[in-house]
Structure 1
Amino acid sequence: MRSWWIPPAGRWMRWWRWFVKLSGTGIRKQRRPVMGKYFDFAAENIAKPLFSIYYQIFHRCTWYGLDNIPCGGAILCANHISNLDGPLVSCRIRGRMVRWVAKEELYHHRIMAWCMRNLGAVRVDRSKADIRPVRDLLALLRKDELVGIFPEGTRMKNRARHSVQVNSSPVMLSARTGKPVVPVAICGRYRLFGKMQLKVGPPEFYQNDSRNKPGPEEQEARMRQLMGKIYRVVDGGEWN
């Protein structure tokens, strides 16, 4: 005979789901492991200096405009030519970590997935319409974190860069949080002992008025305009 105070298993599950939903402690794949803070320490004090030395010696890289990165939250928006772009942007930003948007394919490798989770990367599956990455990015920006996005979504060659459809999420995130979008131009190629430059432009602020938020078409137009500025600097121009 079942005691009156012991609910059936199904009721236990309903109570548990209700508790998780109410408390906001639901288990999610994006949740950062406890070791993340140790990864941040190692990245700041070991990985960043080593990457900086590597880029200076083997690619003769110079960085310009790093003072354009604000102290609070911001969205770093860069062109994408290689898997080495992320460390190139991050290694000279001292005292802060960049939380990069990482594609789902990078998580198919066990070691890479482990590193990405501990470094606080935001996992995005481009084959699905999932709102969770947007929520994660909004939460990071509201905590004054730096978020890094490659709007092209994949590595691009010069001849194809003007025809690709760019992701307008940086403009949307800026409009919803009031945080600026910081354009970053990666100039050159990763040739051994070649010459590369990374140029950070002035922050771009987008409308934060709830009555005048840019719609999808306007967001895409503004994003294309911003990428046009980045491409112009890549081709040897200046920020205007």
Structure 2
Amino acid sequence: MSFYKFVTSIFRGFSKILFKYEVIGLENIPNEGNVVLAANHKSNLDPIFVAAAVKNRTVAAIAKKELFNIKPLGYILNKLHVIPINREKPDVSSIKTILRAIKDGYVVGIFPEGTRMKGPEFGKAKPGLSVFAIKGKASVVPISIISNYKLFNKVTIYIDKPISFEEYFKEKLTSEDHERLSQNVLEVVKENYYRH
């Protein structure tokens, strides 16, 4: 068993024992092809809940680079295929690493808002989601994490159908275009969050 599968099985056990953990729509994550997961972010538990939910693919999450400065957390994050990124100004090498991960068959997990947004409110989507999806020729799967994060309470992971960005693969898009497209995905995440 790989280190990734071992750790995600622990995540799964943790989620099911300590929360009423439910995943809806797992069949919406394609078994193959280029895929980016886009989820809301309200707690440090969110990456664990998403990794626990996805059984058919290996998730390479994107996380702030500061986390990699904490030993031995940085070592573990590397072993779990987590990709460090400068949230304020992503550098070219980070972007290339993310695109390579998509090409290599990993499902890249991203929080479009770029940071945690506590409470029921949502932030604005950053352009990164759209940039990675279009440059990586990937479809985007919206994921809504619905929880109050209190122990033994309900956690619902609602996975919606993939959104195709194919019509934009050959377009020249501005940063504003990418922001708008990222926000469109976040609106789907929000709608499912409030509905479920």
Same-fold call, TM cutoff 0.5: yes
- Does residue 54 (structure 1) correspond to residue 14 (structure 2)? The answer is yes
- Does residue 190 (structure 1) correspond to residue 149 (structure 2)? The answer is yes
Q: What's 1:32 paired with?
A: none
Q: For structure 2, list consecutive stretches of 5 or more residues without a partner in the other structure.
A: none
- Does residue 85 (structure 1) correspond to residue 46 (structure 2)? The answer is yes
2:173 to 189, 202, 214: 214
Structure-2 separation of matches of 1:69 and 1:194:
25
The structure where strand makes up a greater share of residues is 2
Q: What's 1:114 paired with?
A: 75
Q: For structure 1, list consecutive stretches of 5 or more residues without a partner in the other structure.
A: 1-39
1:140 CA drift (Å): 1.2
Tell me the number of residue pairs that the alignment of Structure 1 and Structure 2 aligns.
Answer: 194
Counterpart residue identity of residue 128, structure 2: S
3-state SS in 2 of match to 1:235: helix
Instruction: State the TM-score, normalizing by the size of structure 1.
Output: 0.75
Structure-2 separation of matches of 1:129 and 1:154:
14
**Identity percentage of aligned residues:** 26
1:63 to 17, 23, 34: 23
Name which one, 1 or 2, has greater alpha-carbon Rg. 1
177-186 or 200-209, larger mean C-alpha shift: 200-209
Structure-1 separation of matches of 2:109 and 2:175:
21
Q: What's 1:22 paired with?
A: none
Counterpart residue identity of residue 80, structure 2: L
Alignment of 1:1-240 (within 5 A): 41-44=2-5, 46-71=6-31, 72-161=33-122, 164-206=123-165, 207-210=167-170, 212-236=171-195
Counterpart residue identity of residue 160, structure 2: G
Checking the alignment, whether the CA contact within 8 Å between 1:175 and 1:213 is kept in structure 2 is: no
Q: Which has the higher contact order (CA 8 A, sep 6+)?
A: 2
- Across the aligned residues of Structure 1 and Structure 2, the Cα RMSD in angstroms comes to 1.8
Structure-1 separation of matches of 2:158 and 2:57:
18
1:76 CA drift (Å): 0.5
Q: Where do 4+ consecutive residues of structure 1 move more than 3 Å?
A: none
Structure-1 separation of matches of 2:89 and 2:181:
24
Checking the alignment, whether the CA contact within 8 Å between 2:35 and 2:140 is kept in structure 1 is: yes
Instruction: State the TM-score, normalizing by the size of structure 2.
Output: 0.90
Checking the alignment, whether the CA contact within 8 Å between 2:11 and 2:51 is kept in structure 1 is: no
